[in-house]
Amino acid sequence: MSLRLGDTAPDFTAETTDGTINFHDWLGDQWGVLMSHPADFTPVCTTEIGATSKLKDEFDKRNAKAIVVSVDSVEDHKAWARDIEETQGCGLNLPLIGDTDRKVSELYDMIHPNEGDTSTVRSVFVIDPNKKIRMTLTYPKSAGRNFNEILRVIDSLQLTDNYKVTTPANWEDGDDVIVSPALSNEEAEKLFPAGWNELKPYLRMTKQPNK
């Protein structure tokens, strides 16, 4: 199944370290970050789960929460959680989905046969409160994810959903943004009374409107 931006995130029911969940019910009215990791008791994954747990407050600020899936069992996840806390200095505070039947992994196309085995690659799906997929990333098994980038994209999505702007390359929260090219100057004047810097008619830079 090939999932694209704007598609409804497939729903599922699964066992997790926090009990049985229905994915859409679990998301509620929040943003969700669904990630896969190749296997428990592996080095890169251990650092990633630790990093995600440490960012709980940052996810909370964005009305977002994370959930992780692998083809290992819930029992393995719970045993592995002790290693995560010991080595990463933060206890597990997000649900890990047990997916031994690969139902969720296959639903989200997280198993890539050319990777040489039946474990997942490092997939990321950012899902909005309407259950729409808004961002996807796929990392190779050898490279740990950049979680600052995941938070940055959520910031951009939440900003551009509410204001007639887009965000430029390497944008971070608080930086200048781009006035939507769909707006005429007359329309833009009403929305951005402080003005903008017109580099080209299609490239008008302005202060971030919610700062």
Q: Token pair for residue 159?
A: 């900003």
Q: pLDDT at position 211, please?
A: 85
What are the start and end residues of each CATH 3.30.1020.10 domain in the chain? Answer: 163-206
User: Is 41 a residue whose pLDDT tops 80?
Assistant: yes
Residues of the chain with pLDDT > 70, as a percent, come to: 95
- What pLDDT, in 10s, does the model give residues 20-37? 999 999 999 999 999 999
What does CATH list as the number for 163-206?
3.30.1020.10
What are the start and end residues of each CATH 3.40.30.10 domain in the chain? Answer: 13-145
User: Is 7 a residue whose pLDDT tops 60?
Assistant: yes
Provide DSSP, 171-210.
--TTS-EEEPTTS-HHHHHHH-TT--EEEETTEEEE--TT
Please name the helix (run of DSSP H) or strand (run of DSSP E) that holds residue 21, with its range, or none.
strand 19-22
Residue with tokens 């009305």: 63
Mean pLDDT (whole number) for 5-22: 97
User: Is 209 a residue whose pLDDT tops 90?
Assistant: yes
CATH 3.30.70.660 is right for the domain spanning 13-145:
no
- To the query of whether residue 90 is one of the catalytic residues in this protein, the response is no
Q: Report the chain's mean pLDDT, rounded to a whole number.
A: 93
Pairing of strands 177-179, 203-206: antiparallel
Mean pLDDT (whole number) for 2-31: 97
Calpha distance 188→178 (Å, rounded) = 11
- What pLDDT, in 10s, does the model give residues 183-199? 999 999 999 999 999 99
Q: pLDDT at position 4, please?
A: 95
Q: Which of 35, 45, 74, 177 is catalytic?
A: 45
